[in-house]
Amino acid sequence: MKITRNHILFVIDTDSILSGVYSIMDEFKKELETMGLSDEIKILETGNLGITGKGVTLVVYPEGIYYVNIQKDDVKKIVEEHLLKGRPVKDLVLKREVPFKGATLERIGPGRKQVRIVLENSGIIDPENIEEYIGRGGYKALETVLTSMKSEDVIEEIKKSKLRGRGGAGFPTGLKWESARKSFGEEKYLICNADEGEPGTFKDRLILEGDPHKLLEGMIIAGYAMSAQKGYIYIRGEYALSIERFNKAIKDAKKYGLLGNNILDSGFSFDIEMKKGAGAYICGEETALIESLEGKRGQPRLKPPYPTVVGLFGKPTVVNNVETLANIAPIIKNGSNWFKSFGTATCPGTKVYTILGHVTFPGLLEVPMGTTLKEIIFGYGGGIKDRKKIKAALVGGAAGVFLPENLLGVEMDFDDLKEYKAVLGSGAILVMDEDTDISDMLQSIIEFFNHESCGKCAPCRIGCKELLTIIKNIRKGKGEKEDLTKMISLSEIMFSTSLCPLGQSLILPVKSAIENFRSDFEQKMI
């Protein structure tokens, strides 16, 4: 019998592909062949490990040694020294730079312990191989659901778990499903919102690239629970690799009888179709997404009626975020009590964050709800780059809130943040050092909104443009003190009169930037 002595896992994601991972993988295979090691050492592909900006990255198991920034010339060295002679090549091993005195690797940066539910398989399995997912307990939850649970039971279990939507608004998932299930009509739809457009957010991309079957399983269970016959996944057009991987996952699941007609002989049939976005931030809003899926301009609808009553093609529809659906299979498999043992009482479970900007270790992490912002920035993010001081953190993406240093003790869940008039949003945390000009950042945010406003309702369309004119004026040194009051009241009007969250949310960055960092604006007025 052939025994595999080592596994080499290559990270295949957008970052590594652009560093030429495939040609390096070929080189590896060639080199192993030459050394006669091909039988003993297996090469596998895996998703992102939570390390970004380190070029071609690979892990050698069972030792668990990480090599980063691998070039073609390094391949021979690794094969000869490490795989043949058992001596890891020290120069190429990931150095976890310690950002300050007294820090240890277990406390700071990517080595710090995370709690992974959604990302439990990411970076461990080959995302393009359905058998590896099944081998780690995948599709077990689906089997349980189809063989021993009624659709009401599934909804009850999700309700008990208190899972709340991870797309930003935090609406209880079980209630949403129930509402659609009870809605009138036979024809119902499930939509997975993978139009991840919030600047600074790429968690959904990593789930799609790293563990597509987990999402697929969640979608099928959701479809069963709400009694839908068809599901759609709407992926943004820019995510080429996600589209490719998810298409393959759909194909493989069909081959195994896990998707399509009469799934696992249970009598339940469910199909999933993929749709590609075409570049519009507004399509992340659920009713705009539905319009776009129907082949129209992606402009939001008036609510109510909510999509769970009148949605896609006028039928009851549930729209769930990728991360929400990726939580479903683990909850069913382990039970709602297990899920509630993580996180806070009102927001159980974990949250995937992306931490960016002036931090030592930009990247993504999954931690229990309720972890403080301070711990995320200084623990996992390794603190501020170049030993500078922190000035602010923009939490929740472009439609987020600027928090100053004294508010970083905030515990991150949907409710606690509201006390700070902040939102958790998509989970993007953009960290800014002491040299950052907040007025410059706010202008960039307003420019973004001005570009992405869909133009359907006047408050948002005109309000964005007006805000942009005012802030440009201030930054040119032509502003007056009243301009700041004007900006706040304008965004308040937009909040109360805009049709959808796009126009409604500009108040968050505008108000928090001006109130917490007033001097950055006033300095420019003389």
Partner 1 sequence: MTQEKIIKSYEKKPENLLLALHSLQENNVNHYLTKDDLMEVSKYFSLPYSFVYGVASFYSMYSFKPRGKYIVRVCKSPPCHLMGASSIIDELKKVLRINFEETTKDNLFTLEFSSCLGVCGVAPAMMINEEVFGNLTPQRVREIIEEKRREK
**By the criterion CB under 8 A, which residues form the site for partner 1?**
14-15, 18, 52-53, 196-202, 205, 236-240, 275-281, 292-299, 354, 356-358, 362-364, 394, 398, 428, 430, 432, 436, 440-441, 444-445, 447-448, 452, 454
* CA dist., res. 254 & res. 78, Å (int): 39
**Residue 438 beta carbon to partner 1: minimum distance, rounded to whole angstroms:** 11
Region of residue 468 (phi > 0: left; psi between -120 and 50: alpha; otherwise: beta): alpha
What is the crossing angle of helices 507-516 and 481-497, to 10°?
A: 150
What gap in Å lies between CA 356 and CA 377, rounded to an integer?
Answer: 9
Give the integer Cα–Cα distance in Å for 216 and 181: 20
Q: How, if at all, do strands 350-357 and 317-321 pair?
A: unpaired
CB of 17 to partner 1, least distance (A): 8
3-state secondary structure 112-174: CCCCCCCCCCCCCCCCCCHHHHHHCCCCHHHHHHHHHCCHHHHHHHHHHHCCECCCCCCCEHH
Question: What is the distance between the alpha carbons of residues 16 and 211, in angstroms, rounded to a whole number?
Answer: 17
Residue keyed to tokens 């690797």? 105
Question: Rounded to the nearest whole angstrom, what is the least distance from the CB of residue 8 to partner 1 in the complex?
Answer: 23
Helix ranges, 429-505 (H): 438-452, 458-475, 481-497, 501-505
User: Concatenated DSSP letters for 65-131?
Assistant: EEE-S--TTHHHHIIIIIIIT----GGGBPP----STT--TTTSGGGS----STTSSTTTS-TT-HH
Q: What are phi and psi of 486, to 5 degrees?
A: -60, -40
By C-beta, is 262 or 444 nearer to partner 1? 444
Which pair of tokens denotes residue 301? 């609808």
78 vs 310 by CB, closer to partner 1: 310
- In the bound complex, what is the minimum distance in angstroms from residue 482's beta carbon to partner 1? 26
Give the span between the Cα atoms of 479 and 466, in whole angstroms: 14
Q: Which is nearer to partner 1, 239 or 521 (CB)?
A: 239
Give 292 or 336: the residue with its C-beta nearer to partner 1.
292
**Bridge partners, 343 (sequence order):** 348
Work out how close the CB of 498 gets to partner 1 at its nearest, in angstroms, rounded to a whole number: 18
Residues composing the chain: 526
Give the residue with the Cβ less far from partner 1, 157 or 286.
Answer: 286
Q: How far is the CB of 377 from partner 1 (least distance, A)?
A: 15
* Whole-number Å distance between alpha carbons of 487 and 469: 10
- How is residue 455 annotated by DSSP? S
CB of 231 to partner 1, least distance (A): 14
Q: Which residues are 516's β-sheet partners?
A: none
Residue 65 forms beta bridges with which residues? 60
Nearest distance from C-beta of residue 291 to partner 1, angstroms: 10
CB 420 within 8 A of CB 407: yes
Pick the closer one to partner 1 by CB: 202 or 521.
202
Query: What residues form DSSP beta bridges with 194?
Result: 235
Q: How far is the CB of 236 from partner 1 (least distance, A)?
A: 8
Q: Shortest Cβ distance from residue 342 to partner 1 (Å)? A: 25
Closer residue to partner 1 (CB): 130 or 408: 408
Measured from the CB atom, is 138 or 427 closer to partner 1? 427
Nearer of residues 28 and 281 to partner 1, judged by Cβ? 281
Of the pair 19, 473, the CB lying nearest partner 1 is at 19
| Spatial distance between the Cα atoms of 63 and 78, rounded to a whole number of angstroms | 14
CB of 209 to partner 1, least distance (A): 10
Give least dist CB 278 to partner 1, A: 4
Residue 399 vs 417, nearer CB to partner 1: 399
Cβ proximity to partner 1: between 155 and 446 the closer is: 446
